[in-house]
A and B are shown apart, each in its own frame.
Chain A
């Protein structure tokens, strides 16, 4: 899969039938007319990107063509197949996209009929990612999901029958009151459905979401840290035994060929271009993004202007911090020799004592230039990333 190391494309589809109470993404419940307005404006954004695909703020665009296209959201499976087709055609027409680019589609189980799945497959989608979230009735209703456990199972069967290269599934755990037994049942159900890829996200309660407000009112108690840790470790151990070993904090796959090509670009500072409301892009140490609100994204496009809202240029320290923070979330860890700006060796030396302590405490292993988290280290990846001192990079500009 090493051949997929070119830039990636991300298309944000902001529609949902209903907004989940934990969600803090850019989403809206719009009717068909909104969807067609969205598609029109997305086509305008693709028009603006005609050529290299990259905006002017990148003066030396990546030479390689895009090799992944990821439809995320929101609920991309709500778009009519015709709309998906139009968007794909426009992307292929106007941007440098590799013929064999890997296409990803996020889908809600209730949308995944065998017919729909077959259509998407025929359009060239190779990975379908199903927002199952849980196989337990009460947890689905707590999470505000529309489908039933039965629909979830059916959607997986349909996806597999349709012949996707990778059938992926999302689960959420660490719900208030969820016991290890509850969660084990979910995992067993997931394994039984034999997906190729599984993402298990621990519930994060974001402020200004319905859950956030409930927490503020004291009506929602988050799971204790120790219990969260229990579930986290259990997840990684059980899935490993079940044939879906983890490769990142929340990601598990039946084999390396099913690892998420697209997410890996985020983790390795590979350039990516995001289109649609709230979409983020990155290239040449610059990251920029579109407005979250659909109207704010559409307005400039209607006038033929770029919708980019703001961005930043990452200094060396920020860039390295990101590399560490993202790398330490993966089983592979961080190879200091590949850190930006050739800073790895110095950084390693500066942090020798810290690294020794991490190893001593069983949180990481250190081999040559590689710092690799253990499972316990993975569970506190943020703490580990914070423990490394980057002050020696402070004064340097990129």
Chain B
């Protein structure tokens, strides 16, 4: 066990975590040079493109140290986004140490701090690394100062490296074995293994990735998942060395995979504890928390014919993504779809992208919503995350909405505009701290609903990209909620209805109307677009009738070209949704529901 090190890398987005992981893998020879694709651990296309890790991956490396010993290094990759902080927690719980990556030119960022605290919560030994030392803008001394002042770590412990160039990688590996502690645990004790990730294999079912804390896991063993209280028989255990490598057992201290004939990831819960069914442990490992969706949106296929395909696609995605929830939903404007729950906006984005790319589906998503708690006059309490299920206002006694605690780090020159942004977004209890020279951390309590609506984009704009954002869920607070409907020629477009705070209703409605005005093509008749609360119109725009739409010339008998154009337009028309005889193209829904403001 002394030769095992379980560690993860924590870093701010883009500070080079995946690149470092790649180098570690390479220098341990886990993969041949010619097979090497950059950022091996980020296996999804979307992850590669965006340069962020969404689904964590784990790899076991065999490192031959100059001290003559061979070490087993379990590198547990963690997702790099707040939406996936539950996964981060799980991963951290499986480690004894963490490499904390700091960009030599950018210094310590908000997320670095947040992740550090998280890592400290789990008693991890922290090894700071200063990466990207090859950059002309690298300022190692400054980075050291920040490590000391912002993070409270010993700056002279920091290992210097450039993951991109491959410099200092040997030093990193040596520091891992000498500075990070080996795992503890007793192979003879009762089995306790933490499931911190799961994959889905179409042939083998669920592949659980776990850290064995105590005891042993072996094929043939009868196991019990302590929280879900289900029993299975272990078929196979092994290590993840970029591919699965079978082994006879996983003993206390190791990290590996378990296959036990489980059909979908829904049957297990990340964070659950595996124990032996015959001689179970007394207690599960601590830290189990259900991943609860906080952002909800309805997904409709662009073409109603694709509903079946969407159903299949969501089922398949869910095999791999236990945090995604969905149930049937339907809209008068958009037909059948699904009401889906996500961990956050990025999670929503990722699911949407995957549905598009991997399943080739054209989709319309309704405006993301949070889940409101509503107390009716009758005293009954209901949760509403779907505007179409919003009860009649006369029956509502009171409503509450979720708040988050936002933490924003930025160079101090932006503090004014960011505070203004928080105020606009109904922020409360805004406080700020000057961290180091020139840097400020601002915390504010914000309604999550406002964060969903263009907060990230505005923050990015006002801080010119220098602001970083992190949040945690806080609590539910009372709110003055209204349902804003959008009417096209007097007919409500249910998919565009939104629950909003009364103060924001008019502005939001106006913006929707304007977006629709820009994107709905002119038609044979005049179109009125209105925003309304109940019967009261609060915003209005119009689209004038189209008055000229005919090609000048059908010449030389080349009617084919003209017809094909018309056919293409007709196809386009079919993909439009008709509301009150107005044809609304997909782009209009997307433009309205897009949160950023392109103007």
Judge whether B554 is part of the interface by a CB distance below 8 angstroms: yes
Contact pick for B557, options A202, A274, A384, CB 8 Å: A274
Judge whether A79 is part of the interface by a CB distance below 8 angstroms: no
Within 8 A of B (CB), among A305-337: 312, 318, 321-322, 325-326, 329
Within 8 A of A (CB), among B556-574: 556-560, 562-563, 566-567, 569-570, 573
Do the beta carbons of B556 and A280 come within 8 Å of each other?
Answer: yes
Within 8 A of B (CB), among A144-203: 201-203
Do the beta carbons of B555 and A325 come within 8 Å of each other?
Answer: no
Determine the chain B residues whose CB is within 8 A of the CB of A325 once the complex forms.
Answer: 562-563, 566
Judge whether B389 is part of the interface by a CB distance below 8 angstroms: no
Contact pick for A380, options B550, B553, B559, B570, CB 8 Å: B550
Report A224 CB to chain B, min CB distance, Å. Answer: 10
Do the beta carbons of A382 and B566 come within 8 Å of each other?
Answer: yes
Judge whether B222 is part of the interface by a CB distance below 8 angstroms: no
State A176–B84 Cα separation when bound (angstroms).
55
Whether A72 contacts B556 in the complex (CB less than 8 A), given A318-B567, A380-B546, A386-B569, comes out as: yes
Judge whether B218 is part of the interface by a CB distance below 8 angstroms: no
Q: Chain A residue with minimal CB distance to B544?
A: A226
Do the beta carbons of A250 and B552 come within 8 Å of each other?
Answer: yes
Whether A380 contacts B552 in the complex (CB less than 8 A), given A363-B524, A385-B566, comes out as: no
Contact pick for A225, options B548, B555, B570, CB 8 Å: B548
Judge whether B549 is part of the interface by a CB distance below 8 angstroms: yes
Do the beta carbons of B563 and A226 come within 8 Å of each other?
Answer: no
Whether A204 contacts B552 in the complex (CB less than 8 A), given A325-B563, A363-B524, A387-B524, comes out as: yes
Do the beta carbons of B559 and A321 come within 8 Å of each other?
Answer: no
Judge whether B464 is part of the interface by a CB distance below 8 angstroms: no
Judge whether A289 is part of the interface by a CB distance below 8 angstroms: yes
Judge whether A118 is part of the interface by a CB distance below 8 angstroms: no
Do the beta carbons of B562 and A226 come within 8 Å of each other?
Answer: no
Determine the chain B residues whose CB is within 8 A of the CB of A379 once the complex forms.
Answer: 547-550
Within 8 A of A (CB), among B302-336: none
Judge whether B489 is part of the interface by a CB distance below 8 angstroms: no
Query: Size band of the B side of the interface?
Result: 20 to 34
Report B17 CB to chain A, min CB distance, Å. Answer: 42
Determine the chain B residues whose CB is within 8 A of the CB of A326 once the complex forms.
Answer: 554, 559
Whether A386 contacts B566 in the complex (CB less than 8 A), given A225-B546, A361-B525, comes out as: yes
Do the beta carbons of B549 and A383 come within 8 Å of each other?
Answer: yes
Report A118 CB to chain B, min CB distance, Å. Answer: 28
Number of residues from A at the complex interface, CB < 8 A: 49
Chain B interface, DSSP helix/strand/loop, else mixed: loop
Q: Chain A residue with minimal CB distance to B573?
A: A386
Do the beta carbons of B557 and A383 come within 8 Å of each other?
Answer: no
Report A320 CB to chain B, min CB distance, Å. Answer: 11
Report B482 CB to chain A, min CB distance, Å. Answer: 35
Judge whether B523 is part of the interface by a CB distance below 8 angstroms: yes
Within 8 A of A (CB), among B487-525: 522-525
* 0/1 string, A367-389, CB within 8 A of B gives 1: 00000000010111111111100
Judge whether A252 is part of the interface by a CB distance below 8 angstroms: no
Judge whether A213 is part of the interface by a CB distance below 8 angstroms: no
Determine the chain A residues whose CB is within 8 A of the CB of B562 once the complex forms.
Answer: 325
Judge whether B536 is part of the interface by a CB distance below 8 angstroms: no
Report B53 CB to chain A, min CB distance, Å. Answer: 40
Do the beta carbons of B556 and A25 come within 8 Å of each other?
Answer: yes
Determine the chain B residues whose CB is within 8 A of the CB of A329 once the complex forms.
Answer: 550, 554
Judge whether A272 is part of the interface by a CB distance below 8 angstroms: yes
Contact pick for A203, options B552, B556, B558, B567, CB 8 Å: B552
Judge whether B581 is part of the interface by a CB distance below 8 angstroms: yes
Do the beta carbons of A249 and B567 come within 8 Å of each other?
Answer: no
State A201–B554 Cα separation when bound (angstroms).
10
State A357–B567 Cα separation when bound (angstroms).
22
Q: Chain B residue with minimal CB distance to A312?
A: B560
State A386–B566 Cα separation when bound (angstroms).
7
Do the beta carbons of B547 and A225 come within 8 Å of each other?
Answer: yes
Do the beta carbons of A280 and B560 come within 8 Å of each other?
Answer: yes
Contact pick for B548, options A201, A228, A278, A279, CB 8 Å: A228
Report B365 CB to chain A, min CB distance, Å. Answer: 27
Do the beta carbons of A10 and B552 come within 8 Å of each other?
Answer: no
Do the beta carbons of A287 and B560 come within 8 Å of each other?
Answer: yes
Whether A281 contacts B557 in the complex (CB less than 8 A), given A318-B563, A361-B525, A386-B566, comes out as: yes
Do the beta carbons of B557 and A266 come within 8 Å of each other?
Answer: yes
Having A202-B552, A387-B524, one finds 16 other A-B pairs with CB under 8 Å, namely A204-B552, A225-B546, A225-B548, A226-B544, A228-B547, A228-B548, A229-B547, A229-B548, A232-B548, A267-B554, A274-B556, A287-B557, A326-B559, A378-B550, A382-B549, A386-B566
Chain B contact residues, CB within 8 Å of chain A: 522-525, 544, 546-560, 562-563, 566-567, 569-570, 573, 581
Can you list 27 pairs linking A and B with CB atoms under 8 Å apart?
Answer: A10-B556, A25-B555, A229-B547, A232-B548, A249-B550, A249-B552, A266-B559, A280-B557, A280-B559, A281-B557, A282-B559, A289-B560, A312-B560, A318-B563, A322-B563, A325-B566, A376-B547, A379-B550, A380-B549, A381-B549, A381-B550, A383-B549, A385-B566, A386-B569, A386-B570, A386-B573, A387-B524
Chain A contact residues, CB within 8 Å of chain B: 10, 12, 25, 72, 201-204, 225-226, 228-229, 232, 249-250, 266-267, 272, 274, 278-282, 287, 289, 312, 318, 321-322, 325-326, 329, 357-358, 361, 363, 376, 378-387, 390
